């Protein structure tokens, strides 16, 4: 009986650990607890030179003439490329996230703590996606915004890959995966666009 009781205790502890680890692994990909109150970033922090590139650098990153960076609202002209063509343009990490809908680990992306003022572009095609004024601290470890720069610059798609209905966010110009959007963000929209750093390119303004 003594061993049976000990086994029951060890089994309960193991199950708890599995549940906690599993919840931690996907916390940023799912809706947050309502107890978490996001705070918008107000003060700028020291510049992280690894996270900020110039406009010329952005142009160089999308040297293909069809991928010229765009600051305005999406004009409806989509960019279509084969997997082989995207692999020539993107790094392995970018390809995994942008074209295969992968997710970078929380707190590892270079823009999670970027507090500089500027614009975030799609790393695949250079379309403007978010302004720094709409970025806020979500505590998830991923860059979070409460609205896109233009509604037409992103598109939504239902995603059931984790056993629950989520809303995937893609670049409307090239169809690349950016992240997901949830309804637990701050005012004025109440939305949290949870993005992958590798899917973005930041230009300081």
- Residue 25: pLDDT band by 50, 70, 90 thresholds? very low
Whether 35 shows a pLDDT value over 70: the answer reads no
For residues 147, 134, 171 and 119, what is the CA-based torsion angle, rounded to 10 degrees? 150
Query: Is 72:119 a contact under the CB 8 Å cutoff?
Result: no
- Residue 122: pLDDT band by 50, 70, 90 thresholds? very high
Query: DSSP letters along the chain, please?
Result: -HHHHHHHHHHHHHHHHHHHHHHHHTGGGSPPPTT---EE--S-----TTT-B-HHHHHHHT-SGGG--B-S---S------HHHHHHHS-HHHHHHHTT---PPTT-STTTT---SEEEEETTT-BEEEEGGGEEE-SSSS-EESS-SSGGGEEEEEE-TTSS-EEEEEETTT--EEEEEES---TTT--EEEE-GGGEEEEE-
- Residue 171: pLDDT band by 50, 70, 90 thresholds? very high
φ/ψ of residue 191, rounded to 5: -110, 155
ω into residue 46 within 30 of 0, thus cis?
Answer: no
Identify the residue whose tokens are 């609202």: 73
pLDDT at residue 26, as a whole number? 40
Closest to 124 measured CA to CA, from 155, 169, 74, 88: 88
Express each pLDDT in 131-167 by its tens digit.
Answer: 999 999 999 999 999 999 999 999 999 998 878 889 9
Residue 134 and residue 158: Cα distance in Å, rounded? 24
Query: Is 73:153 a contact under the CB 8 Å cutoff?
Result: yes
The mean pLDDT of 184-197, rounded to a whole number, is 96
pLDDT at residue 29, as a whole number? 60
Positions marked catalytic = 194
Supply the pTM of this predicted model: 0.73
pLDDT at residue 170, as a whole number? 98
Query: Is 164:115 a contact under the CB 8 Å cutoff?
Result: no
Whether 182 shows a pLDDT value over 90: the answer reads yes
């Amino acid at each position: 009986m003594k061993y049976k009781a000990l086994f029951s205790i060890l089994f309960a502890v193991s199950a708890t650990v599995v549940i906690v680890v599993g919840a931690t692994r996907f916390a940023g990909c799912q809706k947050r607890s309502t107890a978490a109150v996001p705070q918008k970033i107000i003060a700028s922090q020291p510049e992280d030179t690894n996270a900020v590139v110039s406009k010329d650098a952005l142009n160089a990153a999308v040297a293909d003439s069809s991928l010229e960076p765009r600051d305005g609202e999406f004009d409806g002209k989509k960019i279509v490329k084969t997997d082989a063509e995207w692999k020539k343009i993107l790094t392995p990490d970018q390809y995994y996230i942008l074209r295969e809908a992968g997710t970078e680990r929380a707190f590892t992306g270079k823009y999670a703590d970027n507090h500089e003022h500027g614009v975030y572009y799609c790393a695949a095609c250079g379309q403007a996606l978010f302004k720094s004024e709409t970025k806020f601290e979500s505590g998830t470890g991923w860059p979070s915004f409460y609205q896109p720069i233009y509604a037409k610059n992103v598109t939504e798609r239902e995603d059931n890959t984790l056993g629950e209905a989520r809303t995937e966010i893609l670049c409307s110009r090239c169809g690349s995966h950016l992240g997901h959007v949830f309804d637990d963000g701050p005012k004025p929209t109440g939305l949290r666009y949870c993005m992958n750093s590798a899917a973005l390119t930041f230009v300081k303004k």
